Chains A and B, each alone.
Chain A
């Protein structure tokens, strides 16, 4: 299998479209015949990241590299950044407003869940500049 490079844009202020990138990637990985276990790890971690771009930043960009033995994903945004990354990584910590909670998100579970499902997880954030999250799942 040749390496595949994919790029997605998560639009600003369009909550209904968040998840399109994860859905597209999921369908592609299925066609490539990856195990359902690996596909689920990739899908959940990317989807959580996509939702974060939509609700905490003003959208962002996703790049994905599919190699024979792993899927590498990076989510980048020019949003507000995270002042205390260690705190944000804690289960249950969320700054999401009530409006986001009424949409079914904002339990403070996304980042911990991404770390749990990804085999490698890196996050870098600068207040006022933006946030980058990179994850790798071995398949």
Chain B
């Protein structure tokens, strides 16, 4: 699905001016960046409730293109700017982690390998 569709189905605010037409097929949900670094392979979207700059750094190292902050987490300007600079889309939704992942799964996103 497109990043813009993710924003729609999660009723998420888009916080970066990046390309929302980009197609993504895989995602992972985690609050532990250690695990993302150790287990993620080529997932494109990171769904997280952790709110600090290392979320963006981690996503960038893994070549991910979109971060969804769940359960009302609002990243601050420095985090948004970093993402913008690294060309990573930032979305923020009030929906908690489990239902957010469920919605994306139902819409066709998968965990990848």
Interface residues of chain A, those whose CB is within 8 Å of chain B, are 15-16, 18-19, 22-23, 26, 36, 40, 43-44, 47-48, 51, 101, 103-110, 112-113
Contact = CB atoms under 8 A, between A and B. Distances in A.
A16 B62 contact: no
A-B pairs with lowest CB-CB distance, top 4: A107-B34, A19-B57, A104-B33, A109-B38
User: Interface on chain A toward B: helix, strand, loop, or mixed SS?
Assistant: helix
Contacts of A112: 38
Nearest to A19: B57
Interface in B25-80: 31-35, 37-38, 50, 52-55, 57-58, 60-63, 78
B61 A107 contact: no
B86 interface: yes
Contact of A47 (B35, B37, B86): B37
Interface of B: 31-35, 37-38, 50, 52-55, 57-58, 60-63, 78, 86
25 contacts: A15-B52, A15-B54, A16-B52, A19-B53, A19-B54, A22-B57, A22-B61, A36-B63, A47-B57, A47-B58, A103-B52, A103-B54, A104-B32, A104-B54, A104-B58, A105-B33, A105-B34, A105-B54, A107-B34, A108-B34, A109-B34, A109-B38, A110-B34, A110-B37, A113-B38
Nearest to B55: A104
Contacts of B52: 15-16, 103-104
Scoring A22, A101, A107, A113 by chain B CB atoms within 10 A of each residue's CB, the highest score goes to A107
Given A19-B54, A104-B34, A104-B52, 6 more contacts: A16-B52, A16-B54, A22-B57, A23-B60, A105-B54, A109-B34
